[in-house]
Amino acid sequence: MNEVSDWKISKWPFLAANVALIAAAIVVACKAPRPVTHLEIYICIGCVALGALLGCLPFILEYRATCKLLEVNAVTTVVEQLHDLKTYSSQVAAATEQWARIQETTKDSGEKTATAAREIAERMAVEVRQFTEFQQKMNDAERAALRLETEKLRRSEEEWLQILVRIMDHIHALHTAAARSGQPELATQIGSFQNACRGVVRRVGLVLFGAEAGEKFDAQKHRAHGVENPPAEAAIAETLAPGITFQSRLVRPALIRLRAAGDPVVPEIKKALSLEAE
């Protein structure tokens, strides 16, 4: 019944009535006496008007039926949509109820998870702090050990430096004594020995230097024996003890005797040997 074809009206009876009424009007008009009276005119007009009405009536009824059909279909569509809306509402309500149950179920689990995560973070912070403190203690212990080892190495370096300086002073005194003994061969042998010893100690950065006779006194490299403030024009007579540099650092200036008129050139070897490295 919702199809347009089901609502169509048969038009032939109305059309037949229309034809019959028009024919009747024609018959009345043809057989009416002359002049035509008002009655015959009214009858002809009534027949034509009624026939026209009957001819238009099925189309009007069909139009109204089609409009009603469209309204019924629209109402049906709205009803179906309302039914679907109710179905969707039921589904939404069910989903909301399920979500509420899920929230209630997972609420405790979420709180437990957050508490566990917070406890883990606190434990990790404590462990990190303890590890940092332990690392700091280890670093402090290593620095203290390195400082102690450095001090030991420095003391050891000072000790063997003192030993080398004393040995080289004795070798220098021995060479000076050999040079004054009047025996050239002995002096040459002792000089070679002294040069070999100086070459050995030079490998560790210990360099010995002296002053030539007649060289001008230099307060930076020389120290005059028995004279506090030598004059600027003072000249060197001889070297009593060689100067020493260790790794380009001056350890001890050369001990020299200044040349003076009338003074005998006598090296004070024993006093030179008693000097310690600075």
Q: Which pLDDT belongs to residue 277?
A: 34
Task: Specify whether the CB–CB gap between 254 and 211 falls below 8 A.
Answer: yes
Give the CA-trace dihedral at 61, 64, 66, 72, to 10 degrees.
-130
SS3 47: helix
Q: Which pLDDT belongs to residue 108?
A: 66
What pairing do the DSSP bridges indicate for beta strands 254-258 and 222-224?
Answer: parallel
pLDDT tens digits for range 207-233: 888 777 777 777 777 887 777 777 767
pLDDT tens digits for range 191-205: 898 889 888 888 888
* pLDDT of 267 strictly over 50: no
From residue 208, give the alpha-carbon distance in Å to each of 99, 168, 239, 243, 271. 95, 9, 12, 6, 18
